Structure 1
Amino acid sequence: MAAEFHFFPRLPWELREKIWKLVIRPAEPGVHVFRLCSQGHSSRKSEHRAFTDQDDRRPCLWWLAAPQCLPKGVDFSPASREAAPISWTLNNPSTYLIDSGLWTACKESMLIIEREFQAPARLQHEWSPSEVKSFRAKRGRFTLPETTTYKIFDHSSLRYFTIFPLQDLLILKPPEVSYFDMGITDDIFPSLVSHDNYKKIGRYVHSRNAALEYDPAWDKIRHNGVEHRTPNIVRDIVESTSMSYTFSIWFIDYRIKRNPRHDQEATEEQADKSGDGPATVFYANDRRFVEVKKGQLGRTKGHRRMWDAGYEVETKDDEEPCSCCGSDGFMMQLQDFMDELDAQFASEDFYFPGAPDCIYITYRLLACEYV
């Protein structure tokens, strides 16, 4: 053991810099959980709300607030979520908690996190010093087009949260999913995508990721309504999200688990031959959210698919279960109605002066894996 203990401030800068960099979270897609609030649906307690440097410049009907997160391993239900306490830290797996302390620890930590968050590995493209200077003059010191920084007052202490909108996953918890309007993201993330950038991105390139928690009550929603009619919840979700800028909308089904009977090596080999890329993965503090692709979810006894739905459906002989049931079936219903709505907007008969654009949205499924 060393005979002498060196205080951190007295270490050489090169060594201190290496230590600080080890604290920075990896340059991987992160996960950020927020409660979504609006006027009339929540209180405006300052300790529960996240502020941006844009809030004082214009009114905002919606804002981000401290989430209600369930304990690790507890499956989602509307009742269990409502019973969870509102807190920025309790049970919160968000990536923003990893680096929030570095913004305010000291000048060195702030310098390192600011420099690392502008590294090319984290950004979509490099920005010249003149571009950065010009943008900061308009939007604030710590804000670049690829990042959005929030400040909150948590029991009188100031915290800073930073997200990367073009790579991170935003898990949003609205008062009601049917009341959810993705158009509000342009108010919440004002520096996210300008109209000019949107034209460059293109309507079929999904540059942002938002997630909602899947409610098991939707498993058989197709059979609870009028036959051959799209369920109201499906219509509400698609119609609201299709009015936003480019997005991939993910639904997290906490019941889904990896199937121990599945042959992972065979699947990877088959994926390589077909040209199908690897699954999308988002990384939180103590868990990760992994994409469940079409055809990978099994619900029958003894199935060998990659993912297990967490419940079994009895079928006759080798008959497949109903394709419109379960969380994967719900994704199919959303995408089918999105295709229908997109075709309507493309029709000349549907167009009228001032009609809004319909943006094509993809709906995808995520499993939660604890690490």
Structure 2
Amino acid sequence: MATETFHPFGRLPPELRDQIWDLATLPLSPNHRPAAHFFTLANMREDRSMISLKDTISHDPWHRYCLVAPQCSGPGKMSWTESNPSAYLSEIGLWGACKESRRRVQNYRDPLSWSDWREVSTDYDGSDKLDRLPLLATFYSDGQNQNFTIYPRSDLLCIQPFNFDTINWADIHCNNSTVIGAFVGVHHMALEFDPTWGDPLRGPPPCLDKTGPLRCIATAVSFETHWVNNLWFIDYRIRRRPGSTLNEKRHVFYANSCRYVQVRETDTDWELATEPDIFEFLVDLNESLEEYFAVYYFAEEERPETNCPRWGQPVIGVLACEVSSNEESPWLAFKSSEGGICKM
């Protein structure tokens, strides 16, 4: 019978043990493949009474916004470990297994602390050096601090707002809040698409005058997330057609037991869900935003004849989720019950 514990490991030659630790660390290298990580985003000034500090990433107390344990088993159920598909969970064991493993992952990653990252990013010269620099973060779980590293400039940060009404994306950047990499710009940030977001768009525009998720999402796709290069919407209802192959180069981000794959509107290898179609939703949202900016940012005689230009908005894209194993985790089962998630 197979066992998960290899008891003679400590009797192996040190050189072989080091190679094993290095191989365990390799999959999260940016030269290997980009990873996907999940976090809840909370406004600690407005919602602190409902957030347990033990669920937060270590942060400066004066920061308004903070990254918190994700809600992967249902809304409001925050946990760093329960049903969490984040790639960072593959690494926390390396930091905590023993001194030997911690030394190897520290040497291999050579991560920066949050304060060091801010100092380096302040002197950012536009080169790709930040793409290769990992950031060390810490959260508290199982009675001790758990360390992990992510690459803010190449990994996918999947953000789950704790309270849509208290999120101001512009404040996150202006206040240098504890959103990893926000000080110099996140390359890839994702939101999990909810089909009910399209309901308010059927009413009278403009969408930014509304409250709740739609206002938060509308400001995210406009100029308030100018510090994000690419903003992705994960639609768990999208399925890849049987037998299809993805030959074109596209973005792929890897998590535990699944991966997130870029879907283009012109692709024929995917089956899109309707009511609403994710791409139709984005078109409707953009039209509502254009009307808002035309009304509120220009006087009548100054309105342009074409769409009102917006500045600094991220590139918008869509991701599908594909399961990479036959055994679904509780998180994948929960998402499947909502509709979507296809086998690779």
Q: TM-score scaled by structure 2?
A: 0.70
Q: Give the aligned partner of residue 124 of structure 1.
A: none
Q: How much has 1:338 moved relative to structure 2?
A: 6.4
**Cα deviation code 1:74-126 (max 9, x no counterpart):** xxxxxxx32x632111100011100012122223212221232259xxxxxxx
Change (3 A) 1:189 1:179: closer
**Cα deviation code 1:325-371 (max 9, x no counterpart):** 42111223345566778999899x79xxxxxx941212211111111
1:59-208 equivalences under 5 Å are 59-70=62-73, 81-82=74-75, 85-118=77-110, 135=116, 146-177=133-164, 179-183=166-170, 184=172, 186-189=176-179, 192-194=182-184, 208=187
Change (3 A) 1:10 1:345: farther
SS in 2 for 1:250: strand
Change (3 A) 1:68 1:263: closer
1:187-336 equivalences under 5 Å are 187-189=177-179, 192-194=182-184, 208-219=187-198, 221-222=200-201, 224-226=202-204, 229-230=206-207, 232=210, 236-240=216-220, 242-244=223-225, 245-260=227-242, 264=245, 268=247, 278-296=249-267, 305-310=268-273, 325-335=276-286
Change (3 A) 1:175 1:192: closer
Q: Is contact 2:58–2:138 with CA below 8 Å preserved after alignment?
A: yes
Identity of aligned residues (%): 29
Q: Is contact 2:56–2:66 with CA below 8 Å preserved after alignment?
A: yes
Letter in 1 for 2:192: E
**Structure 2: runs of 5 or more not aligned:** 1-5, 121-128, 304-309, 325-344
Change (3 A) 1:190 1:215: closer
Q: Give the aligned partner of residue 21 of structure 2.
A: 20
Q: Is contact 1:342–1:360 with CA below 8 Å preserved after alignment?
A: no
Letter in 2 for 1:37: A
Q: TM-score scaled by structure 1?
A: 0.65
Change (3 A) 1:235 1:40: closer
| Cα distance in 2 for residues equivalent to 1:165 and 1:136 | 10
Q: How much has 1:138 moved relative to structure 2?
A: 6.4
Change (3 A) 1:19 1:85: same
| Cα distance in 1 for residues equivalent to 2:160 and 2:230 | 16
Q: How much has 1:33 moved relative to structure 2?
A: 0.8
SS in 2 for 1:247: strand
Computing the radius of gyration over CA atoms, which structure comes out larger, 1 or 2? 1
Q: Give the aligned partner of residue 368 of structure 1.
A: 321
| Cα distance in 2 for residues equivalent to 1:219 and 1:257 | 20
- The one of 36, 45, 49 equivalent to 2:56 is 49
